[in-house]
A and B are shown apart, each in its own frame.
Chain A
C-alpha cells in the first residue's frame, strides 16, 4: 500500500482527493499548505506527493524544489494538480523535478491511472 501525501489548500478538494485515493487502497496523508507538507515530509516516508501550486506559506514549486534537493527524499514522485495552466509554470515545475502535471478541473479516473503508472514505473526502477 503506497503512502501518498496530498498538499492542497482547498479543503473540499483535499477531502475529495483523499476519498478517491483511499477508495483505491492508498494510504493518504493530508497537508493544507507547503509548510505543513514540509513538516510531514520530515517525519515519514512517502512514495508520492500530490501537490497544488498556489498555496499559502510555501507554494508547490517550493515543495518540488525542497524534495528534489534532499538526497534522502529525491526518489519521491511528484504530481502537480493545479488550475494554473500557463506554459512557464508547467515548464518550471518539470524543470524542478515534477513527474506529472494535471490541470484542474481534473478527471478522477485519469488521476488514478497516472498515479498507478508512476508508482509502477517507480517499482520497476527500484527492482533494477
Chain B
C-alpha cells in the first residue's frame, strides 16, 4: 500500500512540471494552506492539552495549599495571644517536597494573594509572614528580572499585595517604562509601598500619566492608609511633564492645599490654554479669593474653554465682588455656554444680592435667557 502511495506521489511530482504555470501556483498555495491549517490545529490542540493538564494539577494542589493556609494561619492557636512576628509555622507542613516546584510556588502565591485580599489585621499579617517564610519573595523578585513585561507586572502586583518593599533602583525605572501597562503598575506599586516619598517618581516621569491611569492612581492615593501627602505645588512649579502637572492640580484641589495657590496662579501665564483651564479650575475649587481679580482681568483675552472655567471659578469663590461682571456676561454674550455658566455662577453665590439679580434678570431679559435661568435654578439638574 505504501509502495502504491509513493508511486502515486512520484508520478504526481513528475507530472507537476508539465502543468500550466497558474495551476502549479494554485497547487503550491493549496499545499501551503493545508500545511498552515494542520499547524494551527496542532498548536490549538497542544495548548488545550497543556491547559487541561494545568487545570488538573491546579485542582489537585489548590485544596492542599488551602488546607495548609487554614491550618497554619486561620486556625493558628497562637493568633491573638502571641505577636505575629513571633509566631512560628510548623516546619513539617511547610517543607513538603511539592512546595519546591516552581508551578506549585506560583499557585501558592496566587492563593495567598486571594486570602490577603479578603483578610487584614493579624490574619493578613500572618499571611504575609507565611509568604516570606516560604521564600516566595524570591520567586516574585526573580520574575522582576525577566524581559517579559507581563511577568514583571505580575511580580510588581504580588509584591504590592504582600506589602514587600521594592528598592528604588528596581522600581523607579519601571515607573517611566515605555510600556503603559507596566508603567501604571509600577507607579501604583510605588505609591503603595514607599512610606516616605510615595510621589518621588513624579520627579523623573517623562512618559505621560494617561487619563485612566490618573483615575486608578487617584483611587489608590485616596484609599491607601498612612500615605504621606506632600505639597503638590512642587511639581506644578517645576515639572516639565504636562500630565503630571495636570494631575497634581487635581490633587491640590482634592486635598485643599491652599498653600499651593501662588504656584497655581503662576500657571495662568502658561502658553498652553488647557493648562490654564486646569489651573483656573483648581483655583475655583480652592475658593482662592486672592485670584479673583486676576481671573477677571485676563478673562477677555482667553479662549472659550478658559472663559468658561473663569466663570465657574468666580461662582465657586462667590465673593460677591464680580456679580455685575457675571450679569454683564449673561446679558450680552452671544455664546450659549458663556450665558449658561454665568447664570450658574450668579446662582451659586446664593446671597441676597445674587438672588435679587436673578429676580431682576427674570423680568428684564428675553425668553431664551429666562429658560437658561430656570434650568440653572433646578437643583436636580447638574449640567
Residues of A within 8 A of B (CB): 10, 12-13, 15-16, 19-20, 23, 83, 104-110
Instruction: Report how far A104 CA is from B80 CA in the complex, Å.
Output: 20
B75: A residues at CB distance < 8 A: 19, 23
B215 to chain A, nearest CB (A): 16
B333 at the interface (CB under 8 A from A): no
Q: Can you give 20 A-B contacts (C-beta < 8 A)?
A: A10-B118, A12-B115, A12-B118, A13-B118, A15-B66, A15-B70, A16-B74, A16-B118, A19-B70, A23-B74, A23-B75, A104-B117, A105-B117, A105-B124, A106-B118, A106-B120, A107-B121, A107-B123, A108-B79, A108-B123
Does A108 contact B119, Cβ atoms closer than 8 Å?
yes
**Known contacts A12-B66, A16-B70, A16-B74; is A105 also within 8 Å of B120 by CB?**
yes
Enumerate chain B residues within 8 angstroms of A83, measured Cβ to Cβ: 117
B residues sitting closer than 8 Å to A (CB atoms) are 66, 70, 74-75, 79-80, 111, 114-124
Shortest Cβ distance from B119 into A: residue: A105
CB distance from B80 to the nearest CB of A (A): 6
Closest Cβ of chain A: how far from B83's Cβ, in Å? 14
Closest B residue to A81 using CB positions: B118
* Cα distance, A16 to B70, chains bound together (Å): 7
- For A105, what are the chain B residues with a Cβ–Cβ distance below 8 Å? 116-120, 124
Least CB separation from A104: chain B residue: B118
Given contacts A10-B114, A104-B118, 4 further A-B pairs with CB under 8 A are: A19-B75, A83-B117, A107-B124, A108-B74
Q: Which residues of B contact A23 (CB under 8 A)?
A: 74-75
Q: How far is the CB of B63 from chain A (nearest CB, A)?
A: 9
A10 CA to B75 CA in the complex, in Å?
A: 19
8 Å CB contact of A110 from B70, B74, B111, B121: B121
Count of A-B contacts with CB under 8 A?
49
Q: How far is the CB of A89 from chain B (nearest CB, A)?
A: 16
A47 to B77 Cα, complex, angstroms: 27
CB neighbours (8 Å) of B115 from chain A are 12, 16
- Known A19-B75, A23-B75; contact A106-B70, beta-carbon cutoff 8 A: no
Neighbouring B residues of A108 by C-beta, 8 Å? 74, 79, 119, 121-123
Within the complex, the shortest CB–CB distance from B7 to chain A, in Å, comes to 62
Residue of A nearest to B117 (CB): A105
Residues of B within 8 A of A106 (CB): 118-120
Residues of chain B within 8 A of A16, CB atoms compared: 70, 74, 115, 118-119
A2 and B74 alpha carbons, distance in the complex (Å): 21
Residues of A within 8 A of B66 (CB): 12, 15
B116 → chain A, closest Cβ, in Å? 7
| B123 neighbours in A (Cβ, 8 Å) | 107-108
With A15-B66, A109-B80 in contact, do A20 and B118 touch (Cβ < 8 Å)?
A: no
> How far, in Å, is B163 (CB) from chain A's closest CB?
12
